[in-house]
Amino acid sequence: MATEFELIKRFFSRPVSAGLLGGGDDCALFGVTPGWQVATSTDLLLEGRHFFSDVDPRSLGHKALAVNLSDLAAMGARPLGCLLGLGLPAIDETWAQQFADGFYALADQHGCALIGGDTTRSLQGITLSVTVFGEVESSLALRRSAAQAGDDIWVSGTLGAADIACRMLAGEIPLDAALLQATRRALEWPTPQVELGMQLRSHAHAAIDISDGLLQDLGHILTASGVGAELYEPRLPIGPALNDLSTHTLPPEVLRRALLAGGDVYELCFTAAPAQRSSLEAIGHTLGVALTRIGTIRSAPGLVVYDQVGTAISKLPSGFDHFRI
Ligand code: ADP
Ligand code: MG
């Protein structure tokens, strides 16, 4: 194995279903349902910045697609296909096979065909760029700007585990083997809430996926919608990994920061009218996804978080920003 073309042919050219034109021509082709719009999004992942160099290539393939599918989920879009840009320092067949296995397993699960890409040698480290395409019924996309005063604020799944795992691996908090084992999956194998996003289309107003931390991502909804919010810290959903172990090993401020500002979550935060509560509970139940009401949209701007005793937290942790010094 030596060339770029052999690499693509062997690892990234699995057949796609009828109606799509996949790799092998100058462009891929796909259609959308009449009356629906194309939803598209792209995400870059750089070695050393978005993933550790020694990460399992299977989980990297999974995550590179998962973070993009999560963007489709946040719009309520149905996945159609994706493009994969690969910058690799060298051709490593074992790495490519494992990466492709992780990528295709998730792509197949969501009917998101790999229909093309680009491959090049990089000068330093691995660079990944995935672009996804989905479709959403016109005017039913879940926009950030659609939150309304009085809406409930909901979050799917649980918060915080990926942040704790990431900080342990980065040496920012002490390594605790049991806690790492319990939280690592959340960091390396995030589950994009694609089905949930599609079901939310006719029940929710605004939605966003939590990639940079709950406060920051909810903040985008608030800004775009011109509203404010109240959150109740005791209601934030904590997974069993943190619930069982953290009380003994994690300082409360580390846990608070993980829940409120921890990134890499890939759950959905969305707003919906209180009249939707029972429908949303039924959706969560059917999908087997925990849906938790964590606060309320207010017409007055600003984001206030109340702690266990009902006091507004004065110093809130901040989310992730690539260019913050
Ligand atoms: P072009 O010269 O038109 O850019 P390339 O030689 O780069 O085409 O790619 C050849 C074919 O292989 C194209 O159809 C392209 O979409 C596909 N391809 C290249 N890299 C990848 C990849 N990493 N994953 C999937 N398909 C790929
Ligand atoms: Mg090319």
What's the pLDDT tens digit per position in 279-319?
A: 999 999 999 999 999 999 999 999 999 999 999 999 888 76
What's the pLDDT tens digit per position in 146-178?
A: 999 999 999 999 999 999 999 999 999 999 999
Q: What's the CA-to-centroid distance between 117 and ligand 2, angstroms?
A: 7
Q: What's the CA-to-centroid distance between 93 and ligand 1, angstroms?
A: 18
**Edge-to-edge strand list for the sheet holding 36-46:** 36-46, 127-137, 78-88, 113-121
At 143, which amino acid appears? Answer: R
Listed in sequence order, the residues at least 6 apart from 214 whose beta carbon sits closer than 8 Å to its beta carbon are 155, 159, 231, 236, 259, 260, 261, 262, 265, 269, 319
- For residues 70 and 211, the answer to whether their CB atoms sit within 8 Å is yes
What's the pLDDT tens digit per position in 66-91?
A: 999 999 999 999 999 999 999 999 99
Which of 16, 119, 126 is the best mutation target for the ligand 1 pocket, counting ligand atoms within 8 Å of the beta carbon and taking the most?
Answer: 119
Where does the pLDDT of residue 4 fall: very low under 50, low under 70, confident under 90, or very high at 90 and above? confident
Where does the pLDDT of residue 248 fall: very low under 50, low under 70, confident under 90, or very high at 90 and above? low
Residues with CB under 6 Å of ligand 1 are 8, 12, 23-26, 84, 86, 114, 116-119
The arithmetic mean of pLDDT across residues 87-111, rounded, is: 96
Q: What is the dihedral of CA 42, 192, 144, 324, to 10 degrees?
A: -60
| pLDDT of the residue at 239 | 87
What is the model's pTM? 0.94
The arithmetic mean of pLDDT across residues 50-70, rounded, is: 96
Residues, the chain: 325
| pLDDT of the residue at 249 | 74
| pLDDT of the residue at 246 | 59
Q: Whose CA is nearest to atom 7 of ligand 1?
A: 118
